[in-house]
Chains A and B, each alone.
Chain A
C-alpha cells in the first residue's frame, strides 16, 4: 500500500451549495451516530490510528471538518477506504466518540448512490492479497439506495 499525499487540498475539490452541504452533513452525522460536537481535538484518534500515515485526511481532521459542517470534504477523502475498523480510535477517545463509526458512515454514504455493491464476488480474486479483510467485508455490507 502506498502512502497518499497528506492534507492535499480536499476542500477545493468540492463545490456544494450551503444547503446541500448541510444536508449531506446531517445524513453523515445521522449514520455515524456519534456526537462530533463533543470532540475537543486532542488528536488521540490520529495518534492511535495504525493507518493514519496512509491517510489524506487523518481521523482528528475528519472529525474537525464534520464538526464544522463540511461532510463533502470527508466524502472526497480517501481515508474512509483506508480505515481498518480496528476501533483503536474509539477505545482510546477521551470523549467517548467513535471516529471509526464516522469512517463507516462515510463509506455507506459513498456507496449508497451507486445502488449496487462496489465489490462483487468475482472481484475478490483480483484484489491485492495484502488488502485488509475488514475493508473487503465493509464493501460487502448491506446497503440500499
Chain B
C-alpha cells in the first residue's frame, strides 16, 4: 500500500525522462549517414538517399513484408491546433485535391518516433507499432494546398511550413505549438510546401508561389526564437551582379525563382546548395529578356551569412516552367584519378549536370531522356541554350518534357558502391499556347496548354562521370500516358545492394542496382507518394514509405 504511490511516482519520473529523451534530437546525428535515425528530409545532408544498412539485402529481400500501416488521421478532434486565423477557411482544392490529401512528406525518425506532415497537418507516430502519438492541425487562412514535403527537427522542436505562408514550431513530445512566424503574405499568392532544413543554429526556410510575379528568397531563422538571421533574394537588385540579365531592376525584383525544394549542405565547405524555381511571368520570356539570374539555378550559399559563393543556371531564360528545383545531390568521386567534390542534378528540363561543388564549374552536361526539344545547344558554361522558336505561341508549340518534367522534385539516389545516379523519368508532350489578353500580364496570363500524352516512363541509371546511361528500365504499359515523375515518389539505395523505386500502377520495387533486374515488389492502391526511408530499431531494419494517405512499414520476416 505504502510503496505503491512511491513506485508509480518513480515510474512516472522514469517515463518523464524517457519521454524527454525520446523527443530530443542529438545534434551530433545531423549530417551523419542515417543508421538508427533519419533526422533530416534527406536523411543526411548529401541528398544521396543512400543507407549504409544491409540487414535487408539481395538474399532476403524476397521475404520483405508489412510491419504496420498508419492511415493519416485528419480529424480535428483530439488534434493539437494552431492557426493564423480563429477558424480555418474552407479550402477549395482543384485538380490537385488528391495531391493535397496525399502524404508526400519524407518522415523523420528520431528515438523511435516518426514525424511527418501534409498541408495543415503534422503527425508523430510510434516507429515500432505505427500507432499515433499526436497529430497537429493548422487553421489555415488559405494558400495552395498542393503538398508538404516534411518537417525539420532541432532539439525538442519541430518546424512545419504551411500553405498560408507560416513556419510553425511544435513541441516534438506533445505536438503543441510553440510559436509561429509569417514567412510571406498569402494575399500575394505566396505559399509554402517545402521541408525546412536545420543546419547548426539555422533553420533554412524556402517558399513557393508563381501566380503573381512576386520577389523570392531563401531565409535562415533562429531555431529558438524564429527570428530571421539572413535572407538571400534569388534575383539581383539594382547595382548587384547579375542585374544585367534582366531588362530592369523592377522586373528582376518581381522575377520569381522560388526555392521550393529542401537544400543540401556540405559541412566541410559550409556551403548550402539551393535550387531555384522558374522566373516570372512564367511563359512570357519577351517581358524579361536575358538569362534571368538566379532563377532555375543551382546556387551555393555560405550557411552562416547567406552570401552567394557560386551559381550554375540549369535553365537560362526558362520559358517552360522548368524550374531547377530538383535535388542537388552531393558525392565525392575520383575523376581522371583525382578525388573531386561533386554536385549532380537531373533537372526537370531533361538535362543531367555534374559540377565541382567547390566552385560550380561544369564537368558534364547530357540529356538523360531522348525527347527534350526546347533547346538548340549547350553553351560554354555547360548550360542549355533555349530555342526561342519553341516559346509558347498562338498556333501551339509542341514541347517535351510536359509540365511534369523529365524529372521533378522527388529525390533521385546516388549509390557509392555502383557509383551510379538513379531516377524515375518521363517523356511526355504538351502543346503550349500564348494568346493576346486584355488586362495586366502576370503569372501565367494568356497561356494555356494541352497535355497530349507521351512516349514512356522509365527508371534510368546514369554514370555521372560521362552522363551516359548505364541501363534503362522502361515501365511496361507506360506509353501514351506517362505519369509525372514526382507521382512515382523518391528513390532509395542501400548497402544491401538494393535500389528501391516506385513504378506506375502502385508498385514499389526492389532492383539489383548493377543491372536493373527486379528482385521484389508490392502493390498499393496508390502510387508511392513520398520518398522511402530506412532505419535500424531494436536491431531490426525497417523501411517506411507513403502511398496515398497511408504510411507503410516493412521488415524482413524470417
Q: Is B truly associated with A?
A: no
Residues of A within 8 A of B (CB): none
Residues of B within 8 A of A (CB): none
